[in-house]
Amino acid sequence: MIIMRPFVTVNCAMTADGKIASVLRKQMRISSAEDLARVKELRKNSDAILVGIGTVLSDDPHLTVKGLSYEENPLRIVLDGRGRLPETARVLDDLAETLIVTCENCSKTWAGAEVLRTGRDKVNLTDLMEKLYDRGIRTLMVEGGGEVISSFFENGLVDKYCVFVGSMIIGGRTAPTPADGNGFEQPVNLKLVDYKILGNGLLLTYEPVNDL
């Protein structure tokens, strides 16, 4: 069955040894200044920006574009199946609209944010995509982290995958990577559609190959 859903761009930054944060899961500056400018444009041109609760608990991101008003900023979406998002999180500030997506059995509410409930133990991504489309979201940027990116690939919901490779090594067995989760029995095959040097790093752009 074909579902109507937003065009999904996954974007992240990893080190030359494939890590997206430190062993303590703390945010690290991996992108070059040139890449950060590109990410800003990508955010600006997206109707919504989505992250998982793991990213919010680790990084406490704003997920806004500096200089844009409340109305102009993309919708911020947090996947939070068990209602762990603290009331003090920056994504709950008044700089942009926020949608918290949780599971059907979670009754939590947050001041100033809309809540959508879908899925029993895990947020149902396919259903979420249809609901986002119905409310006018046509372009969705998925910023991470590794568990959420993995789920989007697993559900066949990725249209474009942009990964900036920063020229540094972090190392560490437990440092997160762009697609964590349980891993795939069959690899998700990708087609490299573009590459570009951005400062001291390389931006790789892929599209999933569905017909193998």
Interacting residues toward ligand NDP by CB under 6 A: 12-13, 20-21, 25, 27, 30, 51-55, 58-59, 79-82, 84, 122-123, 125, 143-148, 151, 176, 180
**Contact criterion met (CB below 8 Å) for 154 and 8:** no
**Contact criterion met (CB below 8 Å) for 61 and 90:** yes
**Contact criterion met (CB below 8 Å) for 42 and 50:** no
Q: Which does 80 bind (CB under 5 to 8 A by kind): ligand NDP, ligand LIKH6CAM, none?
A: ligand NDP
63 vs 129, which CB is nearer to ligand LIKH6CAM?
63
Q: Which does 40 bind (CB under 5 to 8 A by kind): ligand LIKH6CAM, ligand NDP, none?
A: none
Phi, psi of 161 (to 5 degrees): -125, 115
Under rule CB under 6 A, residue 61 binds ligand LIKH6CAM? yes
Both tokens of 184, joined, read 């795939």
Here's the x/- map for ligand LIKH6CAM, 12-31, by CB under 6 A: it reads as -x-------------xxxxx
**Longest CA span, the chain:** 46
Both tokens of 189, joined, read 């095959």
**Contact criterion met (CB below 8 Å) for 69 and 37:** no
Under rule CB under 6 A, residue 143 binds ligand LIKH6CAM? yes
